[in-house]
Amino acid sequence: MNGIKKEKRMSREAILNAVRKNKPESLPLPEIDLGLFEEEINLVETFIDNLKFVGGRAVQLNNMTEIDAEIKKLYPNASKIVSCVKESALGTISINKETEPHGLEDIDLAIIKGELAVAENGAIWVTENDFTIRALPFITNDLVLIVSRNDIYLHMHHVYEAISKRDRTFGVFISGPSKTADIEQCLVVGAHGAISLTVLIV
Amino acid sequence: MAHADEAAIFNKDEAKVDWHDKALWFVRQKRDKSAHKVKGWEELRNYASAIKANVLSNLDSYLLQFEENAQKNGVTVHWAANAEEHNKIVHSILQKHNAKKIVKSKSMLTEECHLNPHLEAHGIEVIDTDLGERIVQLAQEPPSHIVLPAIHKKKEEVDVLFQEHLGTKPCDGDPEYLTAEARKHLRNKFIKADAAITGVNFAIADTGGFVVCTNEGNADMGAHLAKVHIACMGMEKLIPQEKHLGIFLRLLGRSATGQPITTYSSHFNKPEPGKEMHIVIVDNGRTEQLSREDFRASLHCIRCGACMNTCPIYRRSGGHSYKSTIPGPIGSILSPGIDLKKHSSLPFASTLCGSCSDVCPVKINIHEQLYKWRQVIVKDVPQPVVKKTALKMAGSVLANTKMYHFAGKSARFMLKHMPRFVIYSKLNAWGHARDLPEVKNDNFDEWYKKRKKNE
């Protein structure tokens, strides 16, 4: 074991020394001028257009009280539902930090609150805090994300500013349902993750 | 075999080559549409290039910073000088957990290190979970494209493969059905996996986190279900700060497939309680490439594949003709750095049109590097006699006005009057698949002089 550990340390030193020897003279890290990327556009409309482009569906609601009726309408056959949103009473399966993710394999629907949305690419940012079990948004058959219309940002630069203070565990941008075009470039929705994505904008 | 000979094999099936060519050009067009929608696209490319240049010039300190922060997050960091050490490290982690069933999402690095055969030789099952990669794994072939691994396969071939290996019904290559069957097959593998291996798209020095991008969700299905997650990264994947992801994630998906971003951009920072997360940082020739002033910018690459989709040679010769893990223009500047002799024909697999450099999201001067490799290669690697002699002759003819005029005149005379079988003899390599232009009366020089006279 000692031998392996020593070898490990040696590679680390050897790599770092090789880098020091071979790297060019230090070049500056550029300051990013965000002014170059600013645009006056309708954030909600742009987000919805881009979400459609990536295969997702957007529904605009007036109030959080409307979400359950809308979800029932869109997914009438869903019975095994995990809701991570306190405003939704549709959950039939409750989860907590100790839930074994493999047991969620046959979940029909997960309902998760998105922290923010990105207009330029139709993506929603969600973190472990929002869905408790990391596998949930991927293993569920269908996915509903709920986002406030006030939390839609123009582009990724603003988004990274907005999430810079978070507790970093696991987070993901989700842009549309899982998809693949690996067979002759034919787009097929529903590869390994959720087969459909609905975003409720409230 | 040289690239041209390998390409000749791919070109035997003309209909397939045409399809391949058009399919990839279509992806290139989608890239254009998507890029043109972004305000400040060129500035994004400039920033990305400058950030990567800064990373390479401070790589040692960024690596140390990344290691320190990742360790603080409870992630174990390993260092591998070469492919062999990388494979040993991965295997030792799996051994420690007695892991026998592994799911792996796309990682060109593990392809480069030939990780799968190493693990399989130790009795470990490795399943590639990206659909395209699963297809080529079943066919026992390497990927032919870094983003579209099975782009060389027709759907009917996938149909036959799946019938044989997954027991699917014949379906005339119906992509919906085949994808649904692959989903079922791979779900089962995800559920049963002991450990998950993923690649790394970006590793962030100032947080110790890393980002993995997929469209299928396979990296996440693997990593969040298994007890152990091993992420393998080439050392050049580092970026200084998390906010720089704003630049790179805007560029990556658009350059790759024309999507505004990949479906899933997963940010891993800490392992879940009770689980393990490992990162293997790999050199495998990268520090050597770093020493080459003319070629080090090749390490900027973020593996989007845009240079392949646009390359007139790649589109018509297929990824396998390059016989290197990374094919296409970028592969042709990376591979000679690893084995100059083996890959000496690759920098010649280019028209030097420069389209690769134009679409590169991190502004690598790919076509210039191809040209520079050619100069290294003709000095260091013996060239075919025919090519050498022909170029020498061309050189002396082009350097001498009288000879040039004489050669031009005789060529025009021959083209006009010699029988076809003489002109299209074996010596005329250009004419194998093409007709030479029809000779009209004078050449430009003669035409110009006559015109002057008549003025």
B432 or B333: which carries more pLDDT confidence? B333
pLDDT at B287: 97
The residue among B210, B12, B227 whose CA lies nearest residue B107 is B210
In Å, how far from its chain's centre is CA B12? Answer: 23
DSSP-assigned letters across all residues of B268-313: E-SPPTT-EEEEEEE-TTHHHHHH-TTTGGGGG-----HHHHH-HH
Residue of A nearest to B88 (CA): A4
Q: Is B293 on the interface with A (CB under 8 A)?
A: yes
CA atoms within 13 A on the CB side of B438: 1
Average pLDDT over residues B314-329: 97
Q: List, in order of start, the domains of chain B with CATH numbers.
A: 1-37+293-383 (1.10.1060), 38-284 (3.40.50.10420), 389-454 (no CATH)
Q: Does A120 touch chain B (CB under 8 A)?
A: yes
pLDDT tens digits for range B118-138: 999 999 999 999 999 999 999
Interface of A with B in 143-202 (CB under 8 A): 155-157, 159-161, 164, 168-186, 188, 190-194
DSSP annotation of A177 reads S
Instruction: Specify whether the CB–CB gap between A15 and B82 falls below 8 A.
Output: no
Q: What pLDDT shows up at residue B388? A: 84
Task: Band the pLDDT of B420: cuts 50, 70, 90.
Answer: confident
Q: In what order do the strands lie in the sheet with A57-60?
A: A57-60, A196-201, A142-147, A109-113, A81-83
Q: What is the mean pLDDT of residues B75-99?
A: 98
pLDDT digits (tens, 9 = 90+) for B248-286: 999 999 999 999 999 999 999 999 999 999 999 999 999
| CB contact (8 A) between residue B187 and residue A192 | yes
Find chain B residues with C-beta within 8 A of A176's C-beta.
263
Interface contact A101-B224, CB threshold 8 A = yes
| Mean pLDDT (chain B, rounded) | 95
Q: Judge contact between B253 and B261, C-beta under 8 A.
A: yes
Instruction: Answer yes or no: do B57 and A27 touch at CB < 8 A.
Output: yes
Concatenate the DSSP letters of all residues of B54-94 into one string.
HHHHTHHHHHHHHHHHHHHTT-EEEEESSHHHHHHHHHHHH
Summarised one tens digit per residue, pLDDT across range B43-70 is 999 999 999 999 999 999 999 999 999 9
Sorting pLDDT into bands at 50, 70 and 90, what band is B348?
A: very high
Domain spans of chain A, in order of start = 32-201
Quick one: pLDDT at residue B405? 87
Question: How confident is the model at residue A2, as a pLDDT?
Answer: 46
A32-201: CATH topology is Rossmann fold (3.40.50)
In tens, the pLDDT along B189-203 reads 999 999 999 999 999
Report ipTM (2 d.p.): 0.97
Nearest to B221 among A11, A120, A138 (CB): A138
Cα–Cα distance between B352 and B275 in angstroms, integer?
A: 49
pLDDT of residue B416: 82
Tell me the percentage of chain B whose pLDDT exceeds 90: 85
- Over residues A156-166, mean pLDDT: 98
B109 versus B409: which is more confidently predicted?
A: B109
Q: What is the per-residue pLDDT for A5?
A: 58
Q: Which H or E element spans position B267? A: strand B264-268
* Pairing mode of beta strands B195-198, B228-234: parallel
User: What pLDDT score was predicted for residue A167?
Assistant: 96
Q: Do A173 and B261 touch (CB under 8 A)?
A: yes
Q: Tell me the three state secondary structure of residue B234.
A: strand
pLDDT at residue B11 in the model = 94
Restricting to B residues 184-213, those with a Cβ less than 8 Å away from any Cβ of A are: 186-187, 190-191, 207, 209
Q: Are A202 and A64 in contact (CB under 8 A)?
A: yes
Residue A1 has pLDDT above 50, yes or no: no
**Per-residue confidence at A34, pLDDT binned at 50, 70, 90?**
very high
Mean pLDDT of chain A: 95
A180·B179 Cβ contact <8 A: yes
Of residues A4, A102, A171, nearest to B191 (C-beta): A102
Contact B260/A192, CB-based, under 8 Å?
no
| % of residues, chain B, pLDDT over 70 | 100
